[in-house]
Amino acid sequence: MLTVILATHNGAGTLPVMLDSLTRLEAPRGGWKLVAVDNGSTDATPEILEQFADRLPLHILRHPELGKSRALNRGLAEIEGELAVFTDDDVVVRPDWLKRYRWLAKRAPGFFVFGGRIKPRWPAPVRAAILQGIPLAPAYAVHPDRVASGPVKPIMIWGGNMAVRREVFDRGHRFNETFGPAGQNGLMGEDTELAVRLRARGFGCMFDDQIVVEHLIQARQLTLGWLMGRAFRHGRAGFQKDRDTSSVNDADFTGHPNHGFARLAARSGQVALAGLTGNRVGFYRACWEFQQLRGWRYQARLEGR
């Protein structure tokens, strides 16, 4: 038995496609169940989940308090079997998805955290300014080609396609509720924060390039405004992780020199220069880095650093 867990908040735009892909899964030996936690949705998400109740081994939970990590922690109580597999409401899984996770867990008994590749499914042709100027991994949670099968750093284990042995949660480990989306707010990175913390406690991480899901990129996520919001949130989460790993200098709230005033001013100048010269790739790159720095410094000020 494997247990798939997902948390969804107002996911009506992508949830039907995601759940439909689950109906075509090849069942692993011992079977599987799906725990879907509705995290305070105000759209059609509850109705969509009910529509799939007779097509999937589905157990629906309600967790009205916003926070993805809170919702995922709620779902942990429903784990059956030796492996919990996590995903999101905006991905499409391949039919062999769970079978491959089962095989991987069997082949790698000394590892406890597993991840697979996330690829983008674009809604339309994508501008070069995005493909060349924006770091696609933090922007869209898609893996770079260089990530190969085998033991992997925990920062490459992402919540749209990850699995954790039940034993880890039986020992009391949980998602850090400081991280994770909470409606339109919250810090990114609840998945990697968990993986990093577990690796520090001796739970090894393994990646399999053949365990694949596709991330459904929505049209609004191709706009500069959305990308800048994403960069800002990524910067905020970066400060939190820097702080938790003691890489922030307590004597100066700007922390690492790369986040200081001079670098922020330099990025601002690069944004202006790229805009004036019509360099769209450079403009997008500079905008991303500027907003990421702003997010880092914003979180630093919130925490009095």
pLDDT tens digits for range 3-30:
999 999 999 999 999 999 999 999 999 9
C-beta of residue 205 within 8 angstroms of C-beta of residue 264 = no
| pLDDT (0 to 100) of residue 276 | 52
| pLDDT (0 to 100) of residue 240 | 79
Pick from 213, 214, 215, 209: nearest CA to 147: 209
| pLDDT (0 to 100) of residue 301 | 87
C-alpha–C-alpha distance, residues 284 and 275, integer Å = 9
| pLDDT (0 to 100) of residue 250 | 32
Considering the domain architecture, whether residues 151 and 163 belong to the same structural domain is answered as yes
Residue ranges, the chain, pLDDT below 70 = 184, 243-278, 305
What confidence tens digit (pLDDT) does each residue in 164-175 have?
Answer: 999 999 999 999
| Residues in CB range of 233: below 8 A, 6 or more apart | 186, 187, 188, 295
Considering the domain architecture, whether residues 232 and 210 belong to the same structural domain is answered as no
What letter represents residue 183's amino acid? G
Considering the domain architecture, whether residues 228 and 214 belong to the same structural domain is answered as no
| pLDDT (0 to 100) of residue 259 | 52
Considering the domain architecture, whether residues 128 and 27 belong to the same structural domain is answered as yes
| pLDDT (0 to 100) of residue 219 | 96
Helices (H) and strands (E) in the chain, counts: 11, 9
Considering the domain architecture, whether residues 254 and 133 belong to the same structural domain is answered as no
Mutual orientation of helices 190-200 and 224-244 as an angle, nearest 10°? 20
Using CA atoms, how far residue 103 sits from 34, 100, 161, 266, 295, in Å, is 19, 5, 15, 49, 40
Q: Supply the CATH number for residue 164's domain.
A: 3.90.550.10
Using the 3D structure, point to which of 171, 206, 221 is the last residue of a domain.
221
| pLDDT (0 to 100) of residue 279 | 85
DSSP for residue 27: P
